[in-house]
């Protein structure tokens, strides 16, 4: 569902390329256009990171190779990060810490992070495109685009900014908590990460509302007290 509505539908020509949405909106008099995306929503450790970008409409400033950050190698993401931060009209990034993610729940935290990133852009957008989730409370019309990070340039750029920023944070956390090997799995729920959770229990940067994390806490408490705490309060997870 769109966060707001333009006067007429957004018509994007098939095979118009990753800048097709921005060009279509510009033909309707809607410019600048901002894109927003997040990284780390499905991770059970580390922050949720959201970014927003506004890209130039000049052909000379278009950035080759933009696509969903998950489809790029780490080296490709770093190269594109440098190009985006150099050429973008405006960009911003925000982090929501694990404790706040737990307090809010991941969906609320996700929408809040996207909203904050968009509101922190130095250039106010005329229209907003987001990846999958509509963002309310902006006072700006917008559209949630399915797989937006694959088909919309400014959303793909935001996904890269968010992903690179979060990966760097997880590498820093790896230095702080080397036993979890965060640099390897970036806090996502991989077999390696679960092995470390089972061995060491959760750290201060884990999200306690994830069932796989809370389960290790209950196991630790049961071992130390002899009390069966398997029947605890409801725990949310993605």
Cα angle 150, 152, 154; round to 5: 115
Enter the tokens of residue 12: 């994007």
Name 131's Cβ contacts closer than 8 Å, sequence gap at least 6: 35, 36, 37, 38, 144, 145, 147, 148, 149, 152, 155, 158, 159
The arithmetic mean of pLDDT across residues 142-159, rounded, is 95
CATH number for the domain formed by residue range(s) 20-173:
3.30.420.10
Domain ranges of the chain: 20-173, 178-225
Residue 140 exposure: Cα atoms within 13 Å on the Cβ side: 23
Q: 143, 129 in Cβ contact below 8 A?
A: yes
Read off the pLDDT of residues 180-224 as tens digits, 9 standing for 90 and up.
999 999 999 999 999 999 999 999 999 999 999 999 875 443 333
Read off the pLDDT of residues 97-135 as tens digits, 9 standing for 90 and up.
999 999 999 999 999 999 999 999 999 999 999 998 899
Q: 54, 32 in Cβ contact below 8 A?
A: yes
Is a pLDDT exceeding 90 seen at residue 29? yes
pLDDT of 225: 33
How far out from the chain centre does Cα 132 lie? 11
Q: How far is CA 185 from CA 170, 181, 189, in A?
A: 9, 7, 8
Read off the pLDDT of residues 34-62 as tens digits, 9 standing for 90 and up.
999 999 999 999 999 999 999 998 888 99
Interatomic CA distance for residues 182 and 192, integer angstroms:
10
Flag whether the pTM goes above 0.75.
Answer: yes
Task: Report which of residues 206 and 235 the model is more confident about.
Answer: 206
């Amino acid at each position: 569902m769109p966060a707001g509505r333009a006067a007429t539908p957004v018509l994007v020509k098939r095979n118009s390329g990753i800048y097709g949405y921005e060009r279509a909106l510009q033909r309707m008099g809607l410019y600048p256009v901002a894109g927003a995306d997040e990284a780390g929503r499905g991770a059970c450790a580390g922050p949720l990171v959201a970014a927003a970008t506004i890209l130039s409409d000049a052909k000379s400033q278009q950035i080759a190779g933009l696509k969903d950050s998950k489809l790029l190698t780490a080296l490709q993401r770093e190269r594109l990060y440098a190009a985006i931060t150099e050429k973008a009209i405006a960009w911003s990034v925000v982090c929501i810490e694990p404790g706040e993610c737990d307090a809010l729940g991941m969906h609320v935290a996700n929408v809040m992070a996207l909203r904050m990133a968009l509101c922190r852009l130095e250039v106010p957008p005329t229209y907003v495109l987001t990846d999958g989730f509509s963002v309310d409370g902006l006072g700006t019309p917008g559209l949630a685009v399915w797989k937006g990070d694959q088909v919309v340039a400014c959303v793909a750029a935001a996904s890269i900014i968010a992903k690179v920023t979060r990966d760097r944070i997880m590498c820093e956390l790896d230095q702080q908590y080397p036993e979890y090997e965060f640099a390897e799995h970036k806090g996502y729920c991989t077999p390696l990460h679960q092995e470390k959770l089972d061995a060491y229990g959760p750290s201060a940067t884990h999200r306690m509302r994830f069932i796989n994390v809370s389960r290790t806490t209950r196991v630790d408490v049961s071992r130390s007290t002899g009390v069966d705490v398997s029947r605890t309060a409801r725990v949310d997870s993605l």
